Amino acid sequence: MFLGLVFLALGGYEFWQGLKTKNWPAAPGRIIESEIESISSTSRSSSRVSRRVTDYSVRIRYSYEAAGQKLEGKRLQYGYNSHDDRSSAKNEQSRYPPGKEVQVFYDPTNPKRSVLVKGSGTSWLAVGLGLTAFLLGLFTMVYMAIMRRVGVREKISGS
C-alpha cells in the first residue's frame, strides 16, 4: 500500500502539473543544448538472472524571455520521459537541435517554470500503477482482517 501511495503521489503531482500547462502562454525560445543521457541499472528476473537495463532520456536546455526576464529552462514536459532504446531517444532529440527556435510555454504566475510540450505525458501511468498497488494492498489487508476474525470465531465456536 505504501509503495502504491508513493507512486500515486508522485504521478498525481506530475499529472496535475502537466494539466496546468494547458493554459500557459507561449514565448519564443531557442535550444541551447540537446543531448542523450543513458542510465544503466541491473535488474533481476524471477529466475535470479541479472541483466543490464539501459534507459535513455533527452536532456535539453533552452532560453526564452517571459515577463521581461531572460530565462533558461530544462524541462521538456511533465511526466516520465524515458526511452528503452537509443534510436527512439535520438529521434526525439532530433526535434530539438541546438540553435532551433521553439515555442516555450511558461507559468504566468512563475515564469521560471516552463515546458516545450504541454500536457502530462505518461504520468497517468504512474497514477494508474499507484492506484492499482494501493487498492491491491487495501484489499489484501481487509481480506486478512476478515479471515482473522472468521478464524477467531471458529476457534470460539469449536471449543
Q: Is the pLDDT of residue 26 over 80?
A: yes
**Domain of 68, in residue numbers:** 25-117
pLDDT in tens, 74-121: 999 887 677 888 998 999 999 999 999 999 999 999 999 999 999 776
Q: For 20-37, give the DSSP string.
A: HGGG--EEEEEEEEEEEE
CA distance 20 to 91: 27
**Shared-domain flag, residues 51 and 89:** yes
**Shared-domain flag, residues 43 and 9:** no
**Shared-domain flag, residues 108 and 41:** yes
| Beta strands per DSSP E along the chain | 26-44, 50-66, 69-73, 101-107, 110-115
pTM: 0.67
**Shared-domain flag, residues 69 and 143:** no
**Shared-domain flag, residues 98 and 29:** yes
Q: Give residue for cell 532504446.
A: 85
**Shared-domain flag, residues 102 and 45:** yes
**Shared-domain flag, residues 105 and 156:** no
**Shared-domain flag, residues 108 and 75:** yes
Tally of domains within the chain: 2
**Shared-domain flag, residues 2 and 45:** no
**Shared-domain flag, residues 4 and 57:** no
**Shared-domain flag, residues 31 and 62:** yes
**Shared-domain flag, residues 131 and 67:** no
Q: Is the pLDDT of residue 21 over 70?
A: yes
| Mean residue pLDDT across the chain | 83
Tell me which residue of 59, 43, 62 sits closest to 51, measured CA to CA.
43
